[in-house]
């Protein structure tokens, strides 16, 4: 078979992300309402803020804005995780980063499946935050055994999805028809099923251990539990939600509002209570389950290890001074504390750049191209910047933040479910389950930065810049 007839994995991901959004809008109508609010807000920002709109046009981000979203799923076994990795690979998504959620009392560890090259991210930035249940943290042996038996019996992939994954792997791609079928079949894994696979009593036992365990174990598959569009002004969304009949979580996770956004700010609306049917019930006798919600994010610059260290220090300082978990009752105080502590974090792109706090992409300027000469020997990239031959823009942070993710989990599990796990972070176990190593996200940003510098040196005909 010729590779010419294969559909580009970036294209499969784009279409899959769209199909997933359509399905979720139907399943959770409030997500549709949230999408409308995001579209209205982004439009307002683009109309009133020329600097942002110019910036998004310059970097091409304006084209991915509408498509921008991430989702999240939770799987139960190493086998499910390994097969999910193969399914996402068909769409050009690789596991990036390792997140340990146990310090926040959530018995999972996670990665994010996403595209890794800047060109692929540009065509579709769709990511899926994927968590694996840590069965080793369930202390009750009998319950652990029950979980194993239930999970052993389920198959979360359709036979056709599995066949198409194999076809992709052996042929190196899928043609147009197979790609279309693959999207339909893959979607089934993420669909909501209102009939549980356990009895009411079993559900209660799982739920009593941890609400998340019931969500992972009691259903036919790892239903998508939220989808998240990207907004240009998350504070405006947080304030606008109640007017649309949406209840936001108490605080926005991540850094405070800034002139130069960094990393990721997130908020969500609380999970909905949904009717489910247990195996020992029928449609007239039903139970309830709370799991699915909507989230919104605002993304900013990716930070270098030095920048990230400063971020973690300031965030921890603000939280330590608050002295308790951020909640409705201390939300205002938390915002003030964040703002106070983050005054230490430089808030101009020039400082973020010169102090090595964030990653940047470099572009040759018109002037640089016009004055290109083979005899010019710059001593550093700072020279070229000072002479106006190259320019830079921050690289968007494509990943997640463990403290924020924990806050999102918690707000949707209810505040009554704080558990304490003594087990430690176990990236090795996670990678064994996954069947591969996760990519270090910082390396990807450094690679993108380096590639852009090399491109500048080629275009400007100067020796390779570092």
DSSP 8-state assignment for residue 348: S
| 34 vs 164, beta carbon nearer Ni ion | 34
Residue 267, binding choice from ligand OOG, Ni ion, none, Cβ under 5 to 8 Å by partner class: none
74 binds, among Ni ion, ligand OOG, none (CB under 5 to 8 A by kind): ligand OOG
Closer by beta carbon to ligand OOG, 106 or else 174: 106
Q: How far is the CB of 60 from ligand OOG (least distance, A)?
A: 24
**CA 394 – CA 359 distance, rounded (Å):** 6
Cβ-closest residue to Ni ion? Answer: 295
Compute the least distance from the CB of residue 399 to ligand OOG, in Å: 10
Residue 304 sits at the vertex; the CA angle it makes with 326 and 308, to the nearest 5 degrees, is 20
**Nearer CB in complex with ligand OOG: 289/389:** 289
- Nearest CA among 302, 300, 158 for reference residue 234: 300
How many Cα atoms occupy the beta-carbon half-sphere of 138 within 13 Å? 25
Cβ burial 279-317 (10 Å sphere, 16+ → b, else e):
eeeeeeebbebbbbbbbbbbbbbbbbeebbebbeebbeb
Given the complex with ligand OOG, which of 42 and 225 has the nearer CB atom?
225
Q: What is the dihedral of CA 191, 192, 195, 201, to 10 degrees?
A: 120
Stretch that binds Ni ion, among 46-54, 136-144, 291-299, 456-464 (CB under 5 A): 291-299
CB of 266 to ligand OOG, least distance (A): 6
CA distance 446 to 361: 10
The DSSP code for 437 is P
Min separation Cβ 72 and Ni ion, Å = 5
Say which entry of Ni ion, ligand OOG, none residue 209 contacts (CB below 5 to 8 A, set by partner kind): none
Does 398 sit near Ni ion (CB under 5 A)? no
Decide whether 74 or 249 has the Cβ nearer to ligand OOG. 74
Helix (H, G, I), strand (E, B), or coil: what is residue 303? strand
Q: Rounded CA gap, 456 and 313, in Å? A: 35
Could you say which of Ni ion, ligand OOG, none residue 31 binds, taking C-beta under 5 to 8 angstroms by partner kind? Answer: none
Q: What are 106's two structure tokens?
A: 């959530």
**Which listed option, Ni ion, ligand OOG, none, makes contact with residue 405 (CB within 5 to 8 Å by class)?**
ligand OOG
Q: How far is the CB of 71 from Ni ion (least distance, A)?
A: 7
For residue 74, the minimal CB distance to ligand OOG (Å) is 5
Binding string, residues 206-235; x marks residues near Ni ion by CB under 5 A: ----------------------x-------
CA gap 350, 356 in Å, rounded: 10
Q: 255 vs 378, which CB is nearer to Ni ion?
A: 255
Alpha carbons 441 and 444: distance in angstroms, whole number: 5
Taking a C-beta distance cutoff of 8 angstroms, is the pair 227, 70 a contact? yes
Give the one residue of 80, 295, 398, 399 binding Ni ion; rule: CB under 5 A: 295
Minimum CB–partner distance for residue 105 and ligand OOG (Å): 13
- Comparison of 91 and 264: residue with beta carbon closer to ligand OOG: 264
Taking the CA atoms of 278, 281, 283 and 286 in sequence, report the sign of the dihedral they define.
Answer: negative
Nearer to Ni ion, 100 or 295 (CB): 295
DSSP label at 389? S
Encoding tokens for residue 7? 């559909």
Q: Select the binding partner of residue 404 from Ni ion, ligand OOG, none (C-beta < 5 to 8 A, by kind).
A: ligand OOG
- 64-93 residues in contact with Ni ion (CB under 5 A) are 72
Binding site for ligand OOG (CB under 6 A): 72, 74, 129, 131, 225, 266, 295, 400, 404-405, 408-409
Which structure tokens are listed for 138? 């369930």
Q: Which of 338, 341, 348, 353 is nearest to 307 (CA)?
A: 353
C-beta atoms surrounding 375 within 10 Å: 5
Binding site for Ni ion (CB under 5 A): 72, 228, 295
């Amino acid at each position: 078979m010729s590779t010419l007839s294969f559909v580009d994995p970036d294209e499969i991901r784009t279409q899959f992300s769209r199909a997933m959004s359509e399905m979720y809008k139907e399943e959770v109508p409030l997500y549709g309402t949230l999408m409308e609010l995001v579209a209205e807000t982004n439009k307002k920002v683009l109309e009133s803020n020329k600097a942002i709109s110019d910036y998004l046009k310059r970097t091409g981000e304006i084209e991915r804005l509408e498509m921008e979203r991430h989702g999240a799923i939770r799987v139960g076994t190493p086998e499910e995780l390994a097969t999910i990795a193969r399914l996402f690979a068909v769409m050009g998504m690789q596991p990036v980063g390792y997140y340990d959620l146990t310090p926040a009392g959530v018995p999972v560890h996670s990665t994010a499946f996403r595209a890794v090259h800047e060109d692929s991210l540009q065509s579709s930035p769709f990511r899926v935050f994927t968590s694996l249940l840590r069965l080793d943290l369930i202390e009750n042996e009998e319950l652990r055994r029950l979980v194993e038996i239930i999970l052993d019996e389920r198959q979360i992939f359709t036979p056709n999805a599995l066949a198409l994954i194999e076809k992709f792997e052996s042929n190196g791609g899928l043609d147009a028809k197979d790609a279309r079928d693959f999207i339909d079949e893959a979607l089934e894994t993420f669909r909501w099923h209102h009939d549980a696979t356990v009895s009411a009593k079993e559900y209660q036992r799982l739920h009593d251990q941890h609400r998340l365990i019931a969500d992972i174990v009691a259903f036919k598959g790892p239903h998508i539990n939220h989808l998240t569009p990207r907004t240009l002004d998350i504070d405006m969304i947080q304030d606008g939600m109640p007017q649309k009949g949406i209840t936001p979580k108490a605080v926005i996770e991540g850094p405070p509002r800034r002139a130069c956004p960094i990393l990721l700010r997130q908020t969500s609306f609380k999970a909905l209570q949904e009717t489910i049917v247990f195996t020992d019930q029928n449609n007239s006798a039903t139970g309830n389950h709370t799991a699915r919600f909507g989230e919104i994010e605002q993304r900013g610059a990716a930070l270098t290890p030095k920048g990230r260290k400063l971020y973690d220090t300031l965030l921890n300082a603000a939280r330590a001074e608050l002295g308790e978990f951020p909640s409705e009752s201390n939300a205002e105080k938390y915002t003030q504390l964040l703002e106070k502590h983050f005054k230490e974090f430089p808030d101009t792109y020039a400082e973020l750049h010169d102090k090595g706090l964030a990653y940047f992409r470099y572009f040759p300027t018109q002037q640089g191209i016009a004055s290109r000469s083979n005899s010019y020997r710059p001593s550093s990239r700072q020279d070229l910047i000072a002479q106006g031959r190259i320019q830079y823009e921050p690289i968007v942070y494509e990943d997640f933040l463990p403290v924020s993710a924990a806050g999102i989990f918690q707000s949707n599990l209810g505040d009554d479910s704080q558990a304490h796990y003594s087990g430690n972070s176990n990236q090795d176990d996670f990678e064994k389950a996954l069947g591969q190593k996760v990519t270090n996200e910082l390396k990807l940003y450094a690679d993108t930065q380096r590639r852009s510098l090399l491109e500048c040196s080629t275009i400007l005909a100067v020796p390779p810049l570092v």
